[in-house]
Amino acid sequence: MPIFHIHLFNDDNVIDEAGQQFADVAEARAEAIRSGREIIAEHVIHGRPVNLDHHLVLQDDQGRKLETIYFRDVVTFGG
pLDDT tens digits for 49-79?
999 999 999 999 999 999 999 999 999 988 7
Q: Give Cα separations from 34 to 15, 39, 75 (angstroms).
A: 17, 9, 10
For position 11, what pLDDT does the model report? 85
Sketch the domain layout of the chain as residue ranges.
1-71
Q: Give Cα separations from 33 to 16, 39, 48, 79 (angstroms).
A: 15, 10, 20, 23
Compute the mean pLDDT over every residue in the chain, rounded to the nearest whole number: 96
- Res. 37 pLDDT band, cuts 50 70 90: very high
Mean per-residue pLDDT, 25-52:
97
